[in-house]
Structure 1
Amino acid sequence: MINLVWLNTFCTLIETGHFTRTAEKLAMTQPGVSQHIQKLESYLGHHLIQREGKRFHLTETGESVYKQGRQTLLQLNELETTLKVDDPFSGRCRIASPGSVGLKLYPKILDWQQSHPKLNINYTFASNLGIEQALEERKLDIGLITRPSSHSSITCVPIAREQLCLVTSSQVTDISWESLLKLGYIDHPDGAHHASLLLGANYPEFHETGQFEQKGFSNQIAMILQPVARNLGFTVLPAHAVAAFPDQHLITSHNLITPVEEVIYLAKRQWDNQPARITHLIGLIEQELS
């Protein structure tokens, strides 16, 4: 591999056109400049300059080496500058969260991106397991999950809480156990988990969602409340998902005797040094969810 110090000396010599000026610019001695040129020529096996007294001119090989060498040195300098500048408002941010949190966060993060167009936001709605796997595979910078991770390589910090809600159509006022059995359940990917937390804390009769007739299922967070609004059944959802439903007049979120909240954890790889843009994103998330 070409010695970059020799290459830099050679390119500087061509640009100054003088051994003495090159030595002054690089804080070297003139014999030191000559030595670098000789070493580079010896390594390449070609003469790069033709000396004529105190003057010199480039050989054909020297012209080729100078053009390629100058381009290489400029690219390396740009790389070094880029690595030294940690811009909090430029670059890619990869984040994933459960759907409910995403419905609240994603529009706010897009507002941030609009204010800083050099940002590139990659937002994924995913399950806890999917987020953990993506973090381990380095496909995410950070994730939001609703339980502590079991992976030793992932650290989790609680940053917010989200209330779970029992939701029916606005036509329903009776939420007794018997009434819920008649309504039936609108299921979703986290339906069993959410129902076990909220219904288990408020209805002694509850054991599992299998006690209810399943009246529908949707894996799209924005669509789960559509059948509920049509009085086809009830469901249990986190508060952000309920608040994001556009037809609020068609649904009712009921207050139960024992409120239940899910903890939201910020998850990231244990040994990662986060760039400024990710640190700034974390601050934005904490502010929005607090």
Structure 2
Amino acid sequence: MINTVWLRTFCTLAEVGHFTHTAERLHMTQSGVSQHVRKLEEQLGVELLVRHGKQFSLSGAGDRLYAEAQYILIALSNIEQKVGEDPPFEGSVRIMSPGSVGLKLYPHLLELQSKHPKLVIDYRFAPNPDVESAIAESAVDLGFMTSKSTLDNVICTPIAQESLLLVTPDTVEEPDWDTLMTLGFIDHPDGGYHTSLLLGANYPEFQHSNLFPKKGFSNQISLILEPVSMGLGFTVLPAYAVEAFEKSERIKVHRLANPVSETLYLCILRHRELQARMKNIIEEAKQWL
């Protein structure tokens, strides 16, 4: 493999046409320039210079090497520049979060991408355990979770609070215990957990979500409130999911006497160096959440 330092010295000499001036440009000694050219000739097994006393001209091999070397040196220079660059709104950012957080964040991130077309948002919706695994395996750059990771190599920082809300059909004025039992429960993947947190803090009768007649289930965060809006039951959801529901006039949100919130954590892989674009996404997310 050609030594690129020797190659750069040779090309500079070919351009300048003088050993002393080449040495000055490269901050070398004249003997150092001569040595680089001689080593390059030895490596390639050809004469690159036709020497005339203190003067020289390029040999045929020297001409060919100089022409080809321009592409190589320009490419190397571009690599050095690109490696050193850290543009704030260029490149891909891989993000994963539970659905409610995603419904809040994703539209804002798309707006940001529309302003900066070289920014690529790769957003995945997943439950906390999947987010945790993806971070640990470097499958994503940033993760948002509603519980702290149990893994030593995943760092979680609290950045926001998200309220849990009791949601009923719009016909319900006072969601007492008997009303909830009559309505029945629209379940979802985190339904039992969210219900135990919120209803357990506000209804002495509550023991488990299984107490309620089950009236439906959906694992699509954007569709969980559809059956509620049709009067088929009630559910408990994080605030961002409720805010994103388009048929808000058909549901009623009840803020109970004892509010309950989940802490939202920003999670990254320990010792992961974050590029400028990732840091910008974090700062933007903190404003929106």
TM-score bracket for this pair, using the shorter chain length: over 0.9
For residues 125 and 253 of structure 2, what CA distance do their matches in structure 1 show? 24
Cα deviation for residue 218 of structure 1 reads 1.3
Cα deviation for residue 18 of structure 1 reads 3.2
Cα deviation for residue 135 of structure 1 reads 0.7
Q: 1:227 to 1:64 in 2, by over 3 A?
A: farther
Cα deviation for residue 248 of structure 1 reads 0.9
Cα deviation for residue 66 of structure 1 reads 3.1
For residues 152 and 48 of structure 1, what CA distance do their matches in structure 2 show? 58
Determine whether 1:44 maps to 2:44: yes
Q: Paired residue for 1:153?
A: 153
Contact 1:164 1:198 (C-alpha < 8 Å) held by counterparts:
yes
Q: How many residues align?
A: 288
The DSSP-based 3-state class of the residue aligned with 1:144 is strand
Contact 2:49 2:56 (C-alpha < 8 Å) held by counterparts:
no
Q: 1:227 to 1:66 in 2, by over 3 A?
A: same
Q: Paired residue for 2:24?
A: 24
Cα deviation for residue 194 of structure 1 reads 0.8
Q: Paired residue for 1:134?
A: 134
For residues 17 and 288 of structure 1, what CA distance do their matches in structure 2 show? 61
Gaps of 5+ in 1: none
Q: Paired residue for 2:173?
A: 173
Contact 1:50 1:59 (C-alpha < 8 Å) held by counterparts:
no
Contact 2:158 2:266 (C-alpha < 8 Å) held by counterparts:
yes
Counterpart amino acid of residue 155 in structure 1:
I
- Tell me which moved more, 15-24 or 84-93: 15-24
**Scaled by the length of structure 2, what TM-score is found?**
0.93
Q: Paired residue for 2:194?
A: 194
Q: Paired residue for 2:118?
A: 118
Q: Paired residue for 2:56?
A: 55
Cα deviation for residue 63 of structure 1 reads 4.2
Equivalent residues in 2 for 1:50-129, closer than 5 Å: 50-53=50-53, 54-60=55-61, 62-129=62-129
Contact 1:100 1:221 (C-alpha < 8 Å) held by counterparts:
yes
For residues 143 and 78 of structure 1, what CA distance do their matches in structure 2 show? 32
For residues 73 and 32 of structure 1, what CA distance do their matches in structure 2 show? 20
Cα deviation for residue 119 of structure 1 reads 1.1
Q: Paired residue for 1:231?
A: 231
Counterpart amino acid of residue 254 in structure 2:
H
- Tell me which moved more, 84-93 or 139-148: 84-93
The DSSP-based 3-state class of the residue aligned with 1:37 is helix
For residues 142 and 165 of structure 1, what CA distance do their matches in structure 2 show? 26
Q: 1:206 to 1:65 in 2, by over 3 A?
A: farther
Q: 1:65 to 1:139 in 2, by over 3 A?
A: farther
The DSSP-based 3-state class of the residue aligned with 1:220 is coil
Identity %: 50
CA-atom RMSD in angstroms: 1.7
Determine whether 1:210 maps to 2:244: no
Cα deviation for residue 208 of structure 1 reads 2.0
- Tell me which moved more, 39-48 or 275-284: 39-48
The DSSP-based 3-state class of the residue aligned with 2:159 is strand
